[in-house]
A and B are shown apart, each in its own frame.
Chain A
Amino acid sequence: MEKVFVARLDELASRMGKEVIVGEQKIAVFRLSDDRVKAIENICPHKQGPLAEGTVSGEYVFCPLHDYKIDLNDGQVQEPDEGCVRAYETIVEENLVYVMV
């Protein structure tokens, strides 16, 4: 595992996602309303929608293409839909956001 700097916290808008490409991996980074940061794979398992463009509510994001609801903690797609995306551990240190890749 490698700790990769992805963005400054103040560059992230609240409840909106940002896509960060680390090597081959497309990661969607989200700043929640309470300023915690979550990161998941930026590809919806349904039709590959860019999750970073979805609506963020609490600890979930809704895919912009067909509203799949995904838990930002573990990447689990919520019922009645199925599937899972990779979730990444995040670390915020003094305004700097890192993702464990």
Chain B
Amino acid sequence: MKEKLVLIGNGMAGVRTIEEILDRDAKRYQITIIGEEKYPNYNRIMLSNVLQKKMTVPEIVTNPLEWYEENQIELINHDPVVKMDTAAKQVITQSGKEISYDKCIVATGSRAFILPVEGANLPGVVGFRTIDDTENMLEAAQKYQKAVVIGGGLLGLEAAKGLLDQGMDVTVVHLEKWLMETQLDEKAGKMLQADLEKQGLKFLMEKMTQKILGEDRVTGLAFSDGTSIETDIVVMSIGIRSETTVAKAANIEVNRGIVVDDFMHTSIEDVYAVGECAEHNGNVYGLVAPLFEQGKVLADVLTGREAKPYKGSTTFTSLKVSGCDLYSAGNIKQQEGVNSIEAFDGINYTYKKIFVKEDRVVGVVLYGDTSEGNRYYNILKKNESIEDYTPVSLLHMVGEEASADVSEWPDDEVICGCNGIDKGTIMTAIREKELTSVVEVTKHTKAGGSCGKCKSVISDVLAHALGGEVVSAPTGICGCTDLTRDQIVTQIYAKKLTSSEEVYRELNFINPEGCPKCRPAINFYLNVAWPKEHEDEKESRYVNERLYANIQNDGTFSVIPRMRGGKTNPQQLLLIAKVAEKYDVPMVKVTGSQRIGLYGVKKEDLPQIWEELDMKAAGAYAKAVRSVKTCVGANFCRFGTQDSMGLGIKLEQRYEFIDTPHKFKMGVSACPRSCVESGVKDFGIIGVENGFQIYIGGNGGTEVKEAQLLTTAETEQEVIDICGAMLQYYRETGIYAERTAPWIERMGFDVVKEVLLNSEKRQELLAALDQAVEGRRGNPWDEVVEDQQTREELYTVGRV
């Protein structure tokens, strides 16, 4: 019989302890984990990123349900423990489940501290601790305008930035003179405030909240100095309180937290505590690194290893708000015996301060440039004497600062402070497991998986280990901004930005008119978001799309008339031949997608040629639905099961001229021989006896990707509808210039599948698509032929 181990609390500290135990001895315990929330174990630190829409909830889940299954852990979720009976060695959950244990870990964490003022229980007053809190806040941001965050600490500021990103008018109310007063000194605190103000946050400093106003829900705050402010929601972020209710009721010794010794024992035998609910040597930690250090000690204890006693942790902090690089570690209080070295660079707006006590670094504050954070943290943690360092230096020569070079760091230098992973561990993992990216390093070593600030150092280690360049994930969409596609699109909706000009201005692009990378992207996002309000911006389109013809290497253009489904007739062929001859077209060629192209046409001749061709544009120049490739099919082929040409023509007719993030190619084959190569199309169809197999996400481009089977549709109409739904879903969620294969990889095939096969969702998408393209579906060539002004502005060449 295995011993029974019960973990109360399904959070970061507890589950990490379980992971450490499994690492040491996976067979020792029969494990039960009991949690209050309805989610599997997730990374609470990343909630700020969820609120700022940089990440989604599934992305912050660290151990999905399968993990519990694989490790044969019984998970009792959404059913908190309400009672511990330490004499009978069992715990009782809210729903009445009784679970007995041999060993019990209490990891109940902490709760947001709610100010005990009048009105604190009004609807609209929330804490910021859980996924549900985060989702409530995101929901509120949709409905309301004004938000107040009480508390200018780490979490408060991250919450405030998140709400600001959702388009809210946000004021941070803080009791102290400067922000993050426990982690920053006054100077850094004021620099941070100035930077956040530039981003649009408002601050009320040295204000004490006396009362929360409102009757049915919050309407404002009243301060002790008699002033007040209006608001629609209040986020309380003034601190956390260890959650010790159950432990206290079980007569376990509790002070500020559950009191533990150096081996995480509580006052009751076989009961242990880790994380934010535990108090060690008078300290309760609210940061992640200590929790993990405690977890390691406890795992040693519980697996019968010789454990090194836990000696308390040196903590460090960084802020997850872009544009505010901040790092703080150790003790930064100006006290007796503590001196400091301070450097302020007013040109680059950076600041650093090192707190020194008897030749040892005890604390550090960095603002504006945090690249040296790890280095100082290591000196601090190792309690190294700084005798050998030059304390003050100015204007180093490039390359002089050898210590910032990871290749020279010793193996025991800690790279990821959150998880306590040193350089040696990372190097070994890279070598043994042949890792080539930061993501892989995180997966195998956990380094970089918590706050993520050390990712750049991990990348340096990788580069050093591999001896070459390591591809790092780009931040913004281009050099003009640090914002990602999702952040930009969120703001477009939240702030109702309806022109590029507004986007560039409101989102503070470095370059106020953008570049060839972001201009077409933003024009596209605006077209999708506001199909009626936003006027398509020709000057932001790439020349191919602006002129409706592909530019060739010599500056001439190609013209490719539409032949739906690849089908043509003698009359069309005659017309094309006539035009080619009349305009001296140097080359006529059948294109890769079964169309006839005229190459080497002069720009000035384009409108005239289109007029004479009297055919539609094939859209071969556009990030849009391209032509549909078909095989001969049931009409003539002895194997064809379906009318592939007929369906191809219908698809083309229905969706031609619809803009998509990148080109969207389709193919319809009438039998599994797939002469059209439907398996490498964005939307590929293979006719079979009982219907149409639909494959999606195949790309035959720079990176060849095989399409995946989505479903088998019974009717042509169903194929057409699924195609429309996919187009719209791709339009709404795709990154500009991202083909469908990486898009599906990013979204997850199962997610895309679920959306496209859900008939309700499909109808919604189709309705949205119809609305978006209503009135915009004309043949672009006709527009040019008819519009004299466009013709003159864009297609004529002046001659003097």
Contacts and interface: CB of A to CB of B under 8 A. Distances in A.
Given A6-B800, A23-B800, A64 B538 contact: no
Interface string A29-50: 1000100000000000001111
A21 to B, nearest CB: 5
Interface stretch (B151-159, B508-516, B709-717): B508-516
A29 B799 CA distance: 12
A66 to B, nearest CB: 10
Given A33-B513, A57-B511, A20 B797 contact: yes
Interface in A4-33: 4-7, 11-16, 18-23, 29, 33
A16 B794 contact: yes
11 contacts: A5-B800, A11-B792, A13-B538, A15-B539, A16-B538, A18-B796, A20-B800, A47-B553, A54-B516, A62-B515, A65-B551
A72 interface: no
A56 B512 CA distance: 12
Contact of B798 (A20, A23, A48, A57): A20
Which 6 A-B residue pairings sit nearest by Cβ, starting from the closest?
Answer: A20-B798, A15-B539, A57-B513, A53-B543, A50-B555, A55-B516
Nearest to B552: A65
Nearest to A56: B539
B555 A48 contact: yes
A58 B554 contact: no
A67 interface: yes
B793 A13 contact: yes
B547 interface: yes
Nearest to A22: B800
B799 A14 contact: no
B30 to A, nearest CB: 62
A16 B793 contact: yes
Interface of B: 511-516, 519, 538-540, 542-543, 546-547, 551, 553-555, 603, 792-794, 796-800
Contacts of A47: 553
B793 A11 contact: yes
Given A16-B538, A48-B555, A57-B511, A67 B516 contact: yes
Interface centre among B538, B543, B793, by most A CB within 10 Å? B543
B551 A53 contact: yes
A59 B603 CA distance: 25
A54 to B, nearest CB: 7
Nearest to A27: B798
B535 to A, nearest CB: 13
B797 A58 contact: no
A4 B547 CA distance: 28
A14 to B, nearest CB: 6
Contacts of B540: 55
A96 B218 CA distance: 61
Contact of B519 (A23, A53, A55): A55
A54 B543 contact: yes
A5 B800 CA distance: 8
A21 B539 contact: no
Given A19-B797, A55-B542, A57-B514, 6 more contacts: A11-B793, A16-B793, A20-B799, A57-B513, A57-B519, A62-B515
A19 B798 CA distance: 6
A20 B796 CA distance: 9
Given A55-B515, A65-B553, A14 B539 contact: yes
Contacts of A11: 792-793
B543 A64 contact: yes
Contacts of A13: 538-539, 793-794
Contacts of B796: 18
A5 B514 CA distance: 31
Given A11-B793, A16-B793, A57-B515, A48 B554 contact: yes
Given A7-B798, A22-B800, A58 B512 contact: yes
Contacts of A57: 511, 513-516, 519
Nearest to A13: B793
Nearest to B799: A21
Nearest to A61: B516
Nearest to B501: A33
A2 B1 CA distance: 101
Contacts of B515: 55, 57, 62
A19 B794 CA distance: 9
Contact of B800 (A4, A15, A16, A62): A4
Contacts of B543: 53-54, 64
A57 B517 CA distance: 11
A48 B797 CA distance: 17
Contacts of B799: 20-21
